[in-house]
């Protein structure tokens, strides 16, 4: 309560005060309920794991399992086995800043959730109120110095229990500075995910980070944090988000999902440049196109965890078209 009050008095967004007070109480009550049930039934309860998903996929064509502990362990181990170049990217941004070029630093959450008999990556569809309306992306946004530093310490102290096991493989082969940066941008990612979608930080478990992605045309660097969404979220979308789009994992390993994208403007081909993209259907059967920075981040994640390589795409046959909105503010930069 004291921390929440101090945060509120300093003018922080409603997010920090709400989740440090309200969600902590919910978390305590849930833990107490789990301990009571465990004592009554004398069974082992794994917190934040949905044990109804203990079913291994029958198909050998997919490199992942539906068994929740095995799925999460594979991702944790793969991400722990490499050290994301957070320090190098931040040093690059500082060097460019000395030259008068300002790079924006952003953190995104890569939320993994089990639903409808498959693992999904939860994406957001950007609303008409933002600069890339209609695009799919991970929830996330710009680093906020004092809010995210405060939240970083809340995470390290266990007030926000994203680090379910502080002695895990997260920190293997990572120096102190890299660990600090990983937690800093984890704080940015979960704060923005809460503000944009309402995904409760107490419903998340941190799995690790992978290599950032630099967008030179917009002078920004995106630092990703992978999180497990333990229970089905209760979404509360802000005005930046039109809807949540769940991307099935099975689509990511289907070669027929990959295409080349042609960009149109005013019904005319705007550029000869092609972009790799992913065509998939959500749980409602609606089709979506994933392209751009989020596509490349997701390919990096798949390569890091599963050794996945994007399939070769027939440039003559596998072509999709997309018409961007006239309000797409970075249109000229994206296509330059």
Average pLDDT taken over every residue of the chain: 81
In angstroms, rounded to a whole number, what is the distance separating the alpha carbons of residues 334 and 325?
A: 13
Confidence of residue 302 (pLDDT cuts 50, 70, 90): very high
Model pLDDT, residue 66: 86
In angstroms, rounded to a whole number, what is the distance separating the alpha carbons of residues 117 and 246?
A: 12
Q: Exposed/middle/buried for 278, CB within 10 Å: 0-12, 13-18, 19+?
A: buried
C-alpha distances in Å from residue 92, one per residue of 104, 190, 216, 217, 331: 12, 25, 12, 15, 25
The pTM for the full model equals 0.81
How much is the average pLDDT of 247-254?
95
Q: Is the pLDDT of residue 158 over 70?
A: yes
CATH topology of domain 46-249: Nucleoside Triphosphate Pyrophosphohydrolase (3.90.79)
How many CA atoms are closer than 13 Å to the CA of 277, on its beta-carbon side?
25
Model pLDDT, residue 15: 45
Confidence of residue 165 (pLDDT cuts 50, 70, 90): low
CA 9 to chain centre: 30
Model pLDDT, residue 170: 65
Q: Is the pLDDT of residue 298 over 70?
A: yes
Confidence of residue 169 (pLDDT cuts 50, 70, 90): low
In angstroms, rounded to a whole number, what is the distance separating the alpha carbons of residues 288 and 134?
A: 10
C-alpha distances in Å from residue 81, one per residue of 67, 168, 208: 21, 12, 10
Model pLDDT, residue 335: 43
How much is the average pLDDT of 107-129?
95
Confidence of residue 70 (pLDDT cuts 50, 70, 90): very high
Lowest pLDDT segment from 1-10, 43-52, 115-124: 43-52
Predicted confidence (pLDDT) per residue in 222-247, tens digit: 999 999 999 989 999 999 999 999 99
Q: Is the pLDDT of residue 4 over 50?
A: no
Nearest to 133 by CA among 120, 142, 124: 124
Could you tell me the two tokens for 198? 């309402």
In angstroms, rounded to a whole number, what is the distance separating the alpha carbons of residues 253 and 255?
A: 6
Helices (H), the chain: 2-9, 14-18, 24-41, 68-80, 86-98, 145-156, 176-197, 249-252, 292-306, 331-334
Predicted confidence (pLDDT) per residue in 308-333, tens digit: 999 988 777 788 988 877 777 654 44
Predicted confidence (pLDDT) per residue in 30-69, tens digit: 444 444 333 333 322 223 332 222 223 333 467 888 899 9
In angstroms, rounded to a whole number, what is the distance separating the alpha carbons of residues 318 and 310?
A: 14
For the chain, domain boundaries = 46-249
First-to-final CA distance of the chain: 51
What share of the chain in percent tops pLDDT 70? Answer: 75
Asked if 277 and 289 count as a contact pair (C-beta separation under 8 A), the reply is: yes
DSSP 160: S
Model pLDDT, residue 243: 96
Query: How many residues would you count in the chain?
Result: 336
Q: Is the pLDDT of residue 287 over 70?
A: yes
Q: Is the pLDDT of residue 157 over 60?
A: yes
């Amino acid at each position: 309560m004291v921390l929440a009050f101090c945060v509120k008095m300093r003018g922080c967004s409603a997010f920090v005060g709400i989740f440090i007070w309200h969600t902590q109480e919910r978390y305590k009550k849930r833990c107490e309920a789990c301990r009571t049930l465990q004592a009554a039934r004398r069974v082992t309860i794994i917190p934040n794991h949905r044990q109804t998903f203990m079913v291994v996929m029958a198909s050998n064509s997919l490199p992942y399992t539906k068994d929740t502990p095995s799925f999460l362990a594979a991702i944790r181990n793969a991400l722990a086995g490499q050290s994301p170049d957070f320090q190098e990217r931040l040093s690059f941004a500082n060097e460019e800043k000395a030259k008068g070029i300002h790079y924006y630093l952003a953190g995104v959450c890569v939320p993994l959730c089990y639903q409808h008999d498959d693992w999904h990556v939860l994406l957001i569809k950007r609303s008409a109120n933002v600069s890339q309306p209609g695009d799919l992306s991970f929830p996330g946004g710009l680093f906020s110095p004092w809010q995210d530093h405060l939240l970083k310490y809340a995470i390290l102290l266990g007030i926000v229990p994203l680090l379910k096991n502080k002695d895990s493989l997260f920190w293997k082969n990572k120096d102190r500075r890299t660990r600090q940066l990983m937690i800093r941008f984890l704080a940015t990612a979960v704060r923005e995910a809460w503000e944009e979608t309402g995904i409760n930080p107490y419903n998340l478990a941190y799995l690790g980070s992978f290599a950032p992605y630099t967008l030179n045309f917009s002078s920004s660097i995106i630092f990703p944090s992978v999180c497990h969404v333990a229970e089905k979220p209760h979404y509360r979308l802000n005005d930046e988000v039109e809807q949540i789009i769940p991307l099935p994992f099975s689509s990511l390993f289907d070669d027929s999902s990959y295409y080349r994208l042609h960009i149109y403007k005013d019904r005319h081909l705007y550029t000869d440049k092609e972009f790799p993209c992913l065509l998939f259907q959500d749980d409602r059967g609606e089709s979506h196109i994933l392209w751009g920075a989020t596509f490349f981040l997701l390919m990096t994640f798949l390569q890091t965890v599963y050794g996945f390589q994007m399939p070769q795409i027939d440039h003559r046959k596998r072509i999709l078209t997309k018409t961007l909105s006239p309000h797409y503010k970075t249109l000229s930069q994206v296509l330059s």
